[in-house]
Amino acid sequence: EADIYQTPRYLVIGTGKKITLECSQTMGHDKMYWYQQDPGMELHLIHYSYGVNSTEKGDLSSESTVSRIRTEHFPLTLESARPSHTSQYLCATKSKTSGIYNEQFFGPGTRLTVL
Amino acid sequence: GQQVMQIPQYQHVQEGEDFTTYCNSSTTLSNIQWYKQRPGGHPVFLIQLVKSGEVKKQKRLTFQFGEAKKNSSLHITATQTTDVGTYFCAVPSGAGSYQLTFGKGTKLSVIP
């Protein structure tokens, strides 16, 4: 079954640690996105990729970095976590073909808490 | 960049009452999408509206796209506790319109 996976689902970590949030998809979609969302608040695009070796920063400035070495994999890395990074991080994909709908498909998210 | 205003931010209704959330843009939109996010969950696509004046229904949910393609609404008839969550509108943005700009969302609470 085609799906989007995010690991870990929950992460509590101390300040200064390096972390990598994993996102993988079996949908074969070329476009992938990372959003940051505080509880009950709007979604902010922080990174996106339209294909392998293509990554761009989104509207919301973020200290995180991403890579896209394989189509199905889009990890997000924080070199030195800080309490201000505490949030939910959502990964999403979009199909290459326009089709009737142009929706994005979201993974379950990673809830990050930095102490 | 593209912006979309969504109101209200919160809505508390008694079960069985109706609910409506609105999205407004200052620019003409090519399409608008609606998503639902359950508490603790992730956004799930509901529908996309493309045509001027379009009205689409999904059971108790009615979606409308304005004639000028600058506003949209989502109306839920006779709310149920399963309708609880945050409803977001989203509009295309960025080069190629491959990105989405989300409204701030309307958080719906249903009192049993």
pLDDT of residue B62: 98
**pLDDT category of residue A39 using cuts at 50, 70 and 90:** confident
Cβ contacts of residue B2 below 8 Å, gap of 6+? B25, B27, B91, B92, B93, B101
Question: How confident is residue A66, by pLDDT bands cut at 50, 70 and 90?
Answer: very high
Average pLDDT score, chain B: 95
**Which of A21, A27, A42, A97 has the highest number of chain B CBs within 10 A, making it the mutation to test binding with B?**
A42
Binary contact (B42, A108; C-beta < 8 A):
yes
* Per-residue pLDDT at B88 exceeds 90: yes
pLDDT for B3 equals: 85
pLDDT digits (tens, 9 = 90+) for A74-84: 999 999 999 99
Instruction: State chain A's mean pLDDT as an integer.
Output: 92
**pLDDT at residue A97 in the model:** 62
Q: CA A20 to CA B91: how far, in whole Å? A: 29
Higher pLDDT, A111 or B95: A111
Q: Kindly report, residue by residue over B5-52, the tens digit of the pLDDT.
A: 999 999 999 999 999 999 999 999 999 999 999 999 999 999 999 999
User: Is the Cβ pair A58, B43 closer than 8 Å?
Assistant: no
**pLDDT of A8:** 97
Characterize A11-32 residue by residue with b for buried, 16 or more Cβ atoms within 10 angstroms of its Cβ, and e for exposed: bebeeeeebebebbbebebbbb
Q: Give the pLDDT band (50/70/90) at residue A61.
A: confident
Would the pLDDT of B1 be above 70? no
Eight-class DSSP state of B95: G
CB-nearest to B107 from A40, A106, A107 is A40
Closest CA to A47 of B99, B89, B103, B1: B99
Using DSSP's 3-state secondary structure scheme, residue B97 falls into: helix
Whole-angstrom distance, CA of residue B84 vs CA of residue B110? 6
**C-alpha–C-alpha distance, residues A86 and A76, integer Å:** 14
Which residues, in sequence order, are CB contacts of A108 under 8 Å at separation 6+? A4, A5, A6, A9, B41, B42
A1 touches chain B (CB under 8 A): no
Report residue B71 CA to chain centroid gap.
10
Which residues, 6+ apart, have CB-to-CB distance to B102 below 8 Å? Answer: A42, A43, B4, B35, B88, B89, B90
